[in-house]
Amino acid sequence: MTRLSVNINKIATLRNARGEDNPNVLATALDIESFGAEGITVHPRPDERHIRRADVRELAPAISTEFNIEGYPAPDFISLVRSVKPAQVTLVPDAPDTITSNSGWNVEANREFLTDIVKQFKDAGIRVSIFIDPDVSQIRAAASVGADRVELYTKSYADKYPQDPVSAIAPYIEAARAARDVGLGLNAGHDLSLRNLKYFHDNIPWLDEVSIGHALICDAIYLGLQPTIKAYLDCLK
């Protein structure tokens, strides 16, 4: 079964736009779970432009599905994640001023750094996923630094899918098989949507998890949050 983890950063962005507490991030996360999502994802950035550290601390004990925290493993991020102990941490290579994640790790070039970071989180009992491009060599490197899973960065797939879905999915199938061969769990995220998710899942049915935020919240503006989550879950059947 492939889990749907909903990234709620956009809920926090909307809240922060008015400087008040509407929508309430915790209440929305709990509603998302009640609507059938199997996980909640957040990406707390240093400037707290959407999810705040206080949100993470409030969400952690309340989430009844899987809680996934994404971010660059700077010391303050490591401390936050280790203190709340989510089910999973997803390591991304973003600079502090990056608007949104736009590339996977070069694991080979950061081998020593990532080996240490992965060990710190695993010693705390937290599953570790590394955000990565569909590159077989990098996937093998992720296994060698001790990661439990990789999350495939899907922008290239999403960009090419409308014109040529077969060529769009091909490197992801190869990467997914490589991950399976070296014993890594497999996540995917960032640019998946109702338009392209079913095809992605049909071709890589052993996915453990998809993490989707921006597209899902955009769809929810028109469809409503509960019907949108159902539609995404239907893509994973």
> What residues are labeled active site?
43, 70, 190
Q: Are 78 and 49 in contact (CB under 8 A)?
A: no
Pairwise CA distance, residues 40 & 71, whole Å: 14
Instruction: Quote the radius of gyration of the chain (alpha carbons, Å).
Output: 17
- Residue 224, CB half-sphere, CA atoms under 13 Å: how many? 4
Query: Rounded to the nearest 5 degrees, what angle is found at the Cα of 153, between the Cα atoms of 166 and 189?
Result: 95
Q: Over 131-185, what HEC string results?
A: EECCCHHHHHHHHHCCCCEEEEECHHHHHHCCCCHHHHHHHHHHHHHHHHHCCCE
Residue 229 tokens read as 């989550």
Which residues in 203-226 are b (16+ Cβ under 10 Å) and which e? bbeebbbbbbbbbbbebbeeeebe
Pairwise CA distance, residues 54 & 124, whole Å: 21
DSSP 6: E
Write down the residue that tokens 């879950």 correspond to.
233
